[in-house]
Amino acid sequence: MRTIIEPFKIKVVEPIRMTTRGERLECLRAAGYNVFRLRSEDVIIDLLTDSGTAAMSADQWAGVMRGDEAYAGSRSFYRFEETVRRVFGFEQVIPTHQGRAAERILFSTVCRPGHVVPNNTHFDTTRANIEASGARAVDLPIAEGRIPSLPHPFKGNLDVGALERLIGEVGAARVPLCMLTVTNNAGGGQPVSMANLRAVSQVCRSHGIPLYIDACRFAENAYLIKLREEGYAARSVAEIAREMFSCADGCTFSAKKDGLANIGGFLATNDARLAELERDLLILTEGFPTYGGLAGRDLEAIAIGLEEVLHEDYLQYRLASVRYLGEHVFREGVPIVQPPGGHAIYIDAAAFLPHVPPQELPGQSLVAELYVEAGIRGVEIGTVMFGRTDPETGAEEAASMELVRLAMPRRVYTQSHVDYVVEAVLNVWERRSRIGGFRIEHQAPVLRHFTARFAPLYPFGS
């Protein structure tokens, strides 16, 4: 058999409201051309994010009914804690309402002004939380990771030489921890190899620097190790995941990704003294240590999701559907980050629209065009998200890549939905020479991409 099928049947459905091109043009104009400002009802296929958008299983919904909502000592917490300990191997488990809450608690406990935190590539909330503590966030991807068209099995790897040089320059005392993001989301959803995890871990241990894994997509990363790294083909994904975490001293986790849940997260470590300080902060802003801002039912759903996400038939289907989208658009010439990532494909908007300079936001143009074309919502990961406006000159400092991410929610869309997305991308590709850029009309001082308003520099939608 050649066809990899969705390894589930559909039990509950959610209608999609179909819209016309004219309606979408109107919606986008009213949203200041920012797809974050659209109502989801006005979106046909929502590929804005794979975060919190998964379809839960019948077992998870049953778990929701079993949730123990006790303020303290909830049965659901102990189930959650036991699962996290078993899957991740860390003793201290601190539940949080989502990943960024775990980040905030970790960084505000260990980071100070003058500190430096390396990572393969920091996700936007990770960077923002590090910078909010006064520390500096430094991205150290391998050189191949910065070249979208270049295939490499482990493009998410961290540049170990660059890490050693950074520690040499600033001194280990100023590096309170090192992070590794699996898979590397901001760098194209690319995996980190076990060899790289081990090498980074060795450098960190030799300098007494704790290594933390940003584990949002750990199961996808573990499965890619199984498929691509020598010596892992016969190992189970669960074993590979345990080996990954054995290289680290702790992790942050957003259960909205590989937790197969709609909300939740945690911070985990083996350092009991540090965990005590972190729990003090948790109580202040998230909640009591046995619920941390979550309902008991959420803790149940996450515990079950963490088991289901390690099923290899699920992971095989998951990676196949992302690869299917990537291969079908690439075959027609659409430039994408190669190879397709674990949770998303990333279109190289700079190569898609070479006549639109970074200052005119080619990624934003492509996102707007995809929405008007077919009601598909993607997200710009380029100068809008990571660039900066010079407060004095007003000049735009461009990001290192101009990407558009089409992220696949887990277990939500079928192959015909993906075929529809392929058609839409190819239609926009065909008329690419007639697409122009955008300018920013209004922006917030931090994380501007969420709320910015844009204006087209060309007759948009005509």
Residues of this chain that bind ligand F0G (CB under 6 A): 49, 51, 98-100, 123, 125-126, 181, 185, 214, 216, 254, 256, 265
In whole angstroms, what is the distance from residue 335 CA to residue 331 CA? Answer: 9
Residues composing the chain: 462
CB of 232 to ligand F0G, least distance (A): 22
- We find the least distance from the C-beta atom of residue 224 to ligand F0G, in angstroms, to be 15
Taking the complex as a whole, how short is the minimal distance between the CB of residue 184 and ligand F0G, in angstroms? 8
Q: Which residue is nearest to ligand F0G (CB)?
A: 99
Of 356 and 403, CB closest to ligand F0G: 403
Question: Is residue 272 within 8 Å of 278, Cβ to Cβ?
Answer: no
Q: Which is nearer to ligand F0G, 37 or 235 (CB)?
A: 37
Shortest Å distance, C-beta 432 to ligand F0G: 25
Cβ distance to ligand F0G smaller for residue 83 or 119: 119
Compute the distance between CA of residue 101 and CA of residue 295 in angstroms, rounded to an integer: 15
- Asked if 341 and 183 count as a contact pair (C-beta separation under 8 A), the reply is yes
Output the smallest distance, CB 100 to ligand F0G, in A.
Answer: 3
- Comparing CB distances to ligand F0G, the nearer of 294 and 428 is 294
DSSP 320-376: HHHHHHHHHHHTTT--B-SS--SSEEEEEHHHHSTTS-GGG-HHHHHHHHHHHHHSE
Quote helix, strand, coil % in the chain, to nearest 5.
Answer: 45, 15, 40
Residue nearer to ligand F0G on the CB measure, 130 or 216: 216
CB of 131 to ligand F0G, least distance (A): 14
Report d(CA 268, CA 264) in Å as an integer. 14
As given in the structure block, the two tokens for residue 234 are 């016969």
**125 versus 270: smaller Cβ distance to ligand F0G:** 125
Residues 319 and 153: their CA atoms lie apart, in Å, by 14
CB of 185 to ligand F0G, least distance (A): 4
- 177 or 435, CB closer to ligand F0G? 177
Q: Minimum distance from CB of 265 to ligand F0G (Å)?
A: 5
> Which residue is listed with tokens 């559907």?
321
Alpha helix locations (H) across 388-432? 415-430
Phi, psi of 356, rounded to the nearest 5 degrees: -105, 110
Q: Closest CB to ligand F0G among 60 and 181?
A: 181
User: Which positions ≥6 away from 427 have C-beta within 8 Å?
Assistant: 373, 374
253 and 216 Cβ atoms separated by less than 8 Å: yes
